[in-house]
Amino acid sequence: MSKESAEKPWGGRFSEATDAFVEEFTASIDFDQRMYKQDIAGSKAHASMLTKVGILTEEEKQSIHEGLDAIQQDIEAGKLGWSVSLEDVHMNIEARLTDRIGITGKKLHTGRSRNDQVATDIRLWLREHIDFINEELLRLQKGLVDLAEREAATILPGFTHLQVAQPITFGHHMMAWYEMLVRDSERLMDCRKRVNRMPLGAAALAGTTYPIDREYTAELLGFDHPANNSLDAVSDRDFAIEFCATASIIMMHLSRFSEELVLWTSAQFNFINLPDRFCTGSSIMPQKKNPDVPELVRGKTGRVTGSLITLLMLMKSQPLAYNKDNQEDKEPLFDTVDTLLGSLRAYADMVPNITVNADAMREAAMQGFSTATDLADYLVGKNLPFRDAHEVVGKAVAYGVEKQKDLSEMNLTELQQFSSAIEKDVFNILSLEGSVSARNHLCGTAPKQVLLQVESARKKLLL
């Protein structure tokens, strides 16, 4: 990064040079250089539009386009030295363009301001990254569907209050995560619509006196349409806030998933194994294999939500239109994208490689009287009102606790102490398989339903 003072494109009305510290303090080039591609694409489209409406000649446009392409190559080859005294990516690129092509370079900024330029660049950058994020989300969804199919009939205890509640299938559990991530994709795509509106043409705040053609620029840049109000277009960052809110919800989902993976890999649960390549050891305890990826993702959730709050506070109370405050939007936004992409990528790689310990899960489901509700439902089938059935089963459970026996381990005489309505057929429903298979309706845990959900997910994901 070069620190020597360059001539400022806005220097005309100033009588002394910027204070050296202020120059560094106000510069954004350290971080906004990430948007160089979008800045160049926006400038090329702007130059094409200026040519279409007769403000630039065809030769001038040609020269600007070639100059910008050459600058892009230099940046990508690591040959362009960014200058702090040129403040940001916009002025750096524009100054380089003028160095390269001369006076024509100075015409590029006709009818535009850095205010509509930066708002456009961020939207283009975010739009591209929303698409990368959604690809990873879809890859993770696919991994969950594959795992759900593989373990459609594998039984584990379902929990409420982290206490054994009822037996469920592992496939059903994975499809719960899938459903959450599908809504996340929907939210992301919905947010993308509001990202994809073009600020260019708003200029500094009020529009421009040139006969610009914003529909044309929008079309060149793939925007759905140009923004309707110049003041709004240059100033609001609600689209970035909305994205960070969506990202926070995705991370919240991943943190819940993470918590379960951490619990399930512990010696106490021992429900699943994560491949060694997704875990690390301890430098002191040789036996340790720690679930670092889920733990780290759980931890990073706070960071993403923190960025959401940062952006909300950044926008709070800002008067119209652009204020320099808005330069602070980029770091939290970039960090959110990086964190989310990394977390999704790690999960999409890891999830298809999860293996299950069916015996340990089964054994856990046998503890905690997980088929108690089934027994109550059975008694309702024998004409007992549900509340009475609940009472009968409560007594049977108390007996089981005392004798250390699951309901399915009691014999018929033992069970009949609690209700004479209980008959031999009760054993069909007291088994774990009987219990899960009986919940055979849309949204139920039966293996059949899991496979139906897998099938419809595959159709949706076009797998």
Tell me the C-alpha distance between 279 and 294, whole Å. Answer: 9
Nearer to ligand ARG, 114 or 300 (CB): 114
Q: Mention every residue, 6+ apart, whose C-beta is less than 8 A from residue 324.
A: 26
Minimum CB distance to ligand ARG, residue 41 (Å): 17
DSSP string for residues in 363-395: HHHHTTTTTHHHHHHHHHHTT--HHHHHHHHHH
How buried is residue 237: exposed, middle or buried, by Cβ count under 10 Å (0-12/13-18/19+)?
buried
Q: Which residue has the tokens 């845990």?
A: 445
Tell me the C-alpha distance between 270 and 195, whole Å. Answer: 44
Helices (H) and strands (E) in the chain — how many of each?
19, 6
Nearer to ligand ARG, 204 or 358 (CB): 204
The 10 Å Cβ neighbour count of residue 125 is 22
Task: Please give the positions annotated as active site.
Answer: 161, 282
Minimum CB distance to ligand ARG, residue 221 (Å): 18
Residue 423 DSSP one-character state: -
Nearer to ligand ARG, 38 or 185 (CB): 38
Minimum CB distance to ligand ARG, residue 287 (Å): 51
Tell me the C-alpha distance between 204 and 114, whole Å. Answer: 7
Helix (H) or strand (E) holding 60: helix 58-76
DSSP string for residues in 101-152: HGGGGGGTTTT--HHHHHHHHHHHHHHHHHHHHHHHHHHHHHHHHHHHHHTT
Nearer to ligand ARG, 34 or 390 (CB): 34
Nearer to ligand ARG, 257 or 322 (CB): 322
Nearer to ligand ARG, 71 or 430 (CB): 71
Pairing of strands 163-169, 155-160: antiparallel
- H helix intervals, 196-291: 214-220, 230-235, 238-265
Pairing of strands 225-226, 272-273: unpaired
Minimum CB distance to ligand ARG, residue 325 (Å): 9
Nearer to ligand ARG, 112 or 300 (CB): 112
Residues that bind ligand ARG (CB under 6 A): 28, 32, 88, 114-115, 118, 322, 324, 326-327
Is residue 270 helix, strand or coil? coil
Minimum CB distance to ligand ARG, residue 125 (Å): 12
Minimum CB distance to ligand ARG, residue 232 (Å): 16
Residue 290 DSSP one-character state: B
Nearer to ligand ARG, 172 or 330 (CB): 330
239-271 in b/e form (b: 16+ CB < 10 A) is bbbbbbbbbbbbbebbbebbebbbbbbeeebeb
Q: Are 94 and 9 in contact (CB under 8 A)?
A: yes
